C-alpha cells in the first residue's frame, strides 16, 4: 500500500478504556502526527471505543487467571464497533488498523486471545502491537547492548512483556526492585492520588515517578520505557537528565497511521 494515497486510505480503531485517558491521548497523538493537506477531510477515519466497565482489569486477570479474558472481550467490542461504523453505502476501508493503548494488555495470554478472537470475528482488522513498534523505534536510536529501563505496574513487570521485548531486540533491560515497583504501581492505582484517580496528575504521583526514574538512571539506563500508558500523564516523553524517556503510545500512534495508509510525522531521534 502506498502511504498517503487518498483513495487507498483505511481507518483506525482505538481499543480504549484501558485506561480511559490513555485512549484519549492516543487519539490526540494520531491527529497530531498525521500529515494532512490542512483540511479536516484529509484526516483518517477513526473509531475510538471506550467501554471500561466491560473490560476486566488486565493485572488482576493475569494474577488470578479467573473470569473473562480481557483480550477476548476487547476483540468482541472492536468487531462490533467496526460493524456498527459501516454504512450500507460505504466501501470497506482498504486497511483497518487496531491498537490498544495498554502495556499489560500486550501480555501474551491477553494479546494472543485478542488477535485470535479478532481474526475469527473480523479478519479485515489488523492489530498493531505497541511494544513491537516501540522497540523498533528504539533500534533507530540505540545500538545493541544499550541499557533500557522499564517503569511499569506490578502486573506488567510480572508478565515480563517489556523485559522479553527488550532482550529480544539485543538491549539490556533494567527494572525497578520490588519496593520501587510497588511505589510506581501506587502512583498509578492509588484511589486518592494515583494517575487513574486524579487528572491532572497529582504532585505526589509526579514526585514518586520522578524518583523512580532517577533510580533507573542511577542504575545506568540509556533510555527508559514509560511502561504504563498513564505514566506520560505525569512524566513527559523526551529528555530527562539527558536520558531518553520513551512513550509507547507515541510509537503506536505512528504505526497505526502508517498501517492505515497515511503519512506520519517521523520519530525524531535528534529530539532526544
User: What is the pLDDT, as a whole number, of residue 271?
Assistant: 40
Beta bridge partners, 244, equal 223, 239
Cβ–Cβ contacts within 10 Å for residue 48, how many?
16
The C-alpha cell of 166 is what? 527488550
- 87, pLDDT greater than 80: no
- Average pLDDT over every residue of 148-177: 95
Task: Give yes or no for a contact between 26 and 239, defined as CB atoms under 8 angstroms apart.
Answer: no
Distance CA 268, CA 254 (A): 12
pLDDT in tens, 232-244: 999 999 999 999 9
- 269, pLDDT greater than 50: no
Confidence of residue 11 (pLDDT cuts 50, 70, 90): very high
Confidence of residue 2 (pLDDT cuts 50, 70, 90): very low
Task: Give yes or no for a contact between 241 and 223, defined as CB atoms under 8 angstroms apart.
Answer: no
Cβ–Cβ contacts within 10 Å for residue 191, how many?
8
Coil vs helix vs strand at 126: strand
Distance CA 115, CA 237 (A): 29
Coil vs helix vs strand at 201: coil
Task: Give yes or no for a contact between 15 and 73, defined as CB atoms under 8 angstroms apart.
Answer: no
Domains observed in the chain = 6-129+250-266 (3.40.50.1860), 131-248 (3.40.50.1860)
| CA distances in angstroms from 86 to 1, 15, 89, 92, 262, listed in the order given | 22, 17, 8, 8, 20
User: What is the pLDDT, as a whole number, of residue 245?
Assistant: 97
Distance CA 129, CA 48 (A): 17
- Average pLDDT over every residue of 253-267: 93
- 6, pLDDT greater than 60: no
DSSP run (H or E) holding 34: strand 34-35
The C-alpha cell of 90 is what? 460505504
The C-alpha cell of 68 is what? 473473562
pLDDT in tens, 130-151: 999 999 999 999 999 999 999 9
DSSP run (H or E) holding 188: helix 178-189
The C-alpha cell of 22 is what? 490513555
Distance of CA 8 to the CA centre of its chain: 26
Distance CA 130, CA 128 (A): 6
DSSP structure class, residue 88: T
Distance of CA 217 to the CA centre of its chain: 23
What is the Rg, in whole angstroms, of the alpha carbon atoms belonging to the chain? 18
Distance CA 3, CA 109 (A): 33
User: What is the pLDDT, as a whole number, of residue 94?
Assistant: 64
User: What is the pLDDT, as a whole number, of residue 84?
Assistant: 83
Task: Give yes or no for a contact between 184 and 220, defined as CB atoms under 8 angstroms apart.
Answer: no
User: What is the pLDDT, as a whole number, of residue 93?
Assistant: 62
Amino acid at each position: 500500500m502506498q502511504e498517503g494515497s487518498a483513495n487507498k486510505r483505511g481507518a483506525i480503531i482505538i481499543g480504549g478504556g484501558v485506561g480511559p485517558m490513555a485512549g484519549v491521548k492516543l487519539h490526540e497523538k494520531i491527529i497530531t502526527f498525521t500529515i494532512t493537506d490542512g483540511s479536516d477531510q484529509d484526516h483518517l477515519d477513526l473509531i475510538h471505543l471506550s467501554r471500561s466497565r466491560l473490560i476486566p482489569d488486565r493485572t488482576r486477570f493475569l494474577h488470578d487467571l479467573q473470569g473473562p479474558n480481557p483480550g477476548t472481550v476487547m476483540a468482541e467490542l472492536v468487531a462490533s464497533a467496526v460493524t456498527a461504523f459501516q454504512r450500507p453505502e460505504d466501501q470497506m476501508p482498504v486497511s483497518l488498523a487496531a491498537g490498544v493503548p495498554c502495556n499489560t494488555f500486550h501480555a501474551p495470554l491477553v494479546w494472543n486471545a485478542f488477535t485470535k478472537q479478532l481474526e475469527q470475528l473480523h479478519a479485515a482488522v489488523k492489530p498493531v502491537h505497541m511494544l513491537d513498534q516501540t522497540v523498533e523505534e528504539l533500534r533507530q536510536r540505540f545500538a545493541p547492548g544499550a541499557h533500557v529501563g522499564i517503569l511499569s505496574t506490578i502486573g506488567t513487570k510480572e508478565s515480563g512483556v517489556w523485559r522479553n521485548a527488550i532482550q529480544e531486540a539485543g538491549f539490556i533491560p533494567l527494572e525497578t526492585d520490588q519496593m520501587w515497583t510497588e511505589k510506581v504501581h501506587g502512583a498509578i492505582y492509588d484511589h486518592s492520588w494515583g494517575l487513574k484517580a486524579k487528572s491532572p496528575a497529582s504532585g505526589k504521583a509526579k514526585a514518586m515517578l520522578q524518583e523512580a526514574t532517577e533510580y533507573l538512571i542511577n542504575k545506568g539506563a540509556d533510555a527508559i520505557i514509560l511502561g504504563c500508558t498513564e505514566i506520560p500523564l505525569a512524566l513527559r516523553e523526551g529528555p530527562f537528565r539527558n536520558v531518553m524517556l520513551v512513550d509507547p503510545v507515541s510509537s503506536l500512534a505512528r504505526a497505526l497511521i502508517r498501517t492505515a495508509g497515511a503519512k506520519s510525522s517521523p520519530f525524531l531521534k535528534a529530539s532526544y
